[in-house]
Structure 1
Amino acid sequence: MDMKFQPLLQEKPENKPIIIAGPCSAETEQQVLQTAHGLAGKGVDLYRAGIWKPRTRPGAFEGVGTEGLKWLRRVKEETGMKVTTEVANTQHVFEALKHQIDVLWLGARTTVNPFSVQEVADALKGVDIPVLIKNPINPDYKLWVGAIERIYKAGITKIGVIHRGFSYHGETKYRNVPRWQLAIDLKREFPDLPIICDNSHICGRRDILLPVAQKALDLNFDGIMTEVHPDPDNAWSDAAQQITPSQYLELKEKLVFRLPTTDDMEFLENLEHLRHEIDELDEELLNLLGARMKLAERIGEYKQRNNISILQASRWNEILERAVIKGKMKGLSEEFVTVLLKAVHQESINHQEKVMNAPGAEA
């Protein structure tokens, strides 16, 4: 589907990041306004606050509901900041529009359900309002694109996406693993689609908010969404990932905002030279991987003749452990080496399986 997107915020200068900040949840009118006044005049483009909160388990705080929209209107009146909140169904959309919310967003639990996305899309037909779409809970690229397409087909052209990371079963320092490549793939397919990094939900903890936000900016993301609360430790939801307005302003001051490109010819020539070297190394890597798969096929033929199973767990563990150690010596992270080797191992299994189950192969 060919989609052409309009700028999210018409008054925003080109190449300036979109800054979104505010509490995870609107808890009380005082809390909403205190946070807003702490951020007013500090370069925040959108003040965020969750009014309806879809929680993983029942019994958790699920938002104050429509009453909180009145508080967001007061934020607009008293500070001049635009406001944004999450919607998940038709009623949410109608209430948000009635209270003059400037930007809507779809949460990860909505994006994961095409029925819910379509319900929101139907409610938005004939409305000219920017919509942000968070990635689905699981790393499903097509599901994310599908949500964008549904909102676009409703006539909304001011669309952006929020990269908030993905659920992961296992040990990780993140609340939601970034999987940056999915956002990069989205940027490659839709170059004019703004991408905002929700560093709060990726991190789940305040001590690593800065490096994650900086990495997003280094990857040419179009903005940052961060959760800010006047008393984070006593927040009614997601306390560990929120920071105070003063802490947020310190974080924002430390961020380095990159330029997407330059017309400096010396820089461009040097960059082109280095990229050419990378292209040559990439070709060499592909040649080596191709040769490795040929060896895997020979191993498959040998296993087939001797009726031996493809997977040899002890051998695979040995390869992985050795590679992680050697990778660290070469400045490669354990995460990268593990992901790379698992992909190579799976491709090797595929090649062996093809050989061993080929028509006419000996029993």
Structure 2
Amino acid sequence: MRASRKTIDQLPQSSFRKADGKLVMIAGPCSAESEEQMLKTAQLLKNVNGISVFKAGIWKSRTRPNSFEGVGTVGLQWLDKVKQETGLKTACDVANAQQAEEALKYGVDMLIISGRTTVNPFALEEIAAVLKGTATPLLINNPVYPDLHLWMGAIERFYKAGLTDVAAINRGFTADEQCIYRNHPRWDHMLHLKQLFPELPVLCDAAHIAGRRSLLYPVSQKAVDLGVNGLLFEAHHCPAEALSSPQQQLMPQELDLLINAVHTNVKLTGTNELVEELDELSQQIDSLDDAMLELMLKRTEVTARLGSYQKANVKSVPQSVNWDQVLESLVKEANQAGVDQNLLQNIFQVVREHYAQTYRLKA
């Protein structure tokens, strides 16, 4: 489904697009940890220029068990108390229909579909059934991996359920260990989505893309320059004590300075240049990875041809290789070139075992 183009005065009323064109600013702790932590942080955030929504993680989706998975339903009570005492709207992530029902029961103002749920059509249908007939503002995170169709499909499912106050969040995509970001922004995916759904507000989760305080401003500035409707940050009254992601959370006073810089369009020297350079380096790594794969495919083709000669009882198969001598020479070159020895040795071992398997030689 391709969204039709509409003029601004034809667009449905949106919680994520301000009439004055200013950015929607959402902030709060990565995780709800205690009532005291929530209220302290919220009281400070309500004085931060532009913050209108307080967000906190109630249920935390973890890759592995036995780590902090959030406080659960009791955190919704704390969110409600934040709203009553500060006047800020509230938001939290939901991953399934039960969580959506609980959040609505406790009066959470905005729901956010987690990135892991965006990839699950069954969970999306169940959440859509819960929200059908409500006017609940909904934010949809991009899927964990860069699949534009999954992101589009999630949006379309909620449109189909009759929800109109919908926005997308670019929180970045899973990045490999060589990427300086926590999640790679893949700005091209975000821009493509904006082209396909021109009336859809798009926000940027600067905290989850940056993953560290030093990148929060350049990521935010880049996102604003690309036309996002709002930004999400993580803030904690004492980040050093945070139970999750302390490195990407700011004290509210620090966040105030950052947001003021964004609002006044301050161009700090080198910020966009830094992000563009990081993106360029990431693209170079992707190209090198593709080149390595192509070389491995060519190598596989050559070894297959050699193997066919061996099966034909050709006697002139390759002679035994002195692998220790080869590795010693490679390590020496790697040291001179600054190449990671562990990476080199791992690749070398795979090649050695493949060679041995091909020719049934002792590796």
Post-superposition offset of 1:16: 1.2
Q: State the partner residue of 1:28.
A: 34
Question: Which amino acid letter does the alignment assign opposite residue 18 of structure 2?
Answer: K
The question of whether the paired residues in 1 share the 8 Å contact of 2:16 and 2:24 is answered with no
2:21 aligned to 5, 15, 28, which one? 15
Question: Which amino acid letter does the alignment assign opposite residue 34 of structure 1?
Answer: K
What's the TM-score, normalizing by structure 1? Answer: 0.71
Question: Which amino acid letter does the alignment assign opposite residue 78 of structure 1?
Answer: E
Q: State the partner residue of 1:70.
A: 77
CA distance in 2, matches of 1:335, 1:3: 31
- Does residue 246 of the first structure (1) align with residue 263 of the second (2)? no
- Does residue 173 of the first structure (1) align with residue 176 of the second (2)? no
CA distance in 2, matches of 1:6, 1:53: 32
SS of residue matched to 2:91: strand
- Does residue 101 of the first structure (1) align with residue 108 of the second (2)? yes
Unaligned runs of 5+ in 1: 259-327, 348-363
Post-superposition offset of 1:334: 3.5
Post-superposition offset of 1:8: 2.8
SS of residue matched to 1:110: coil
Post-superposition offset of 1:150: 0.9
Post-superposition offset of 1:60: 1.1
Q: Please say which structure displays the higher CA radius of gyration.
A: 2
- 254 and 69 in structure 1: CA distance in 2 versus 1, 3 angstrom threshold: same
1:39 aligned to 25, 31, 45, which one? 45
Post-superposition offset of 1:135: 0.4
Of the two structures, which has the highest relative contact order with CA contacts closer than 8 Å and spacing of 6 or more? 2
- Does residue 196 of the first structure (1) align with residue 203 of the second (2)? yes
CA distance in 1, matches of 2:139, 2:83: 19
1:114 aligned to 96, 117, 121, which one? 121
SS of residue matched to 1:109: coil
- 210 and 134 in structure 1: CA distance in 2 versus 1, 3 angstrom threshold: same
Q: Deviations over 1:184-221 (max 9, x none)?
A: 00011111111111011111111111100110001011
The question of whether the paired residues in 1 share the 8 Å contact of 2:17 and 2:201 is answered with no
What's the TM-score, normalizing by structure 2? Answer: 0.71
Q: Deviations over 1:299-358 (max 9, x none)?
A: xxxxxxxxxxxxxxxxxxxxxxxxxxxxx9xxx9444556578889999xxxxxxxxxxx
Question: Which amino acid letter does the alignment assign opposite residue 231 of structure 2?
Answer: I
SS of residue matched to 1:46: strand
CA distance in 1, matches of 2:128, 2:150: 15
CA distance in 1, matches of 2:156, 2:40: 37
CA distance in 1, matches of 2:17, 2:143: 29
- Does residue 80 of the first structure (1) align with residue 87 of the second (2)? yes
Post-superposition offset of 1:257: 5.8
SS of residue matched to 1:84: strand
Unaligned runs of 5+ in 2: 5-10, 266-276, 295-363
Post-superposition offset of 1:10: 8.0
Q: Percent identity?
A: 46
The question of whether the paired residues in 1 share the 8 Å contact of 2:3 and 2:199 is answered with no
Report 1:1-363 matches (<5 A). 1-3=1-3, 6-9=12-15, 12-42=18-48, 43-256=50-263, 333-336=280-283
CA distance in 2, matches of 1:60, 1:84: 23
Q: State the partner residue of 2:338.
A: none
Q: State the partner residue of 1:322.
A: none
Q: Which moved more, 1:249-258 or 1:132-141?
A: 249-258
Question: Which amino acid letter does the alignment assign opposite residue 216 of structure 2?
Answer: L
Task: Count matched residues.
Answer: 279
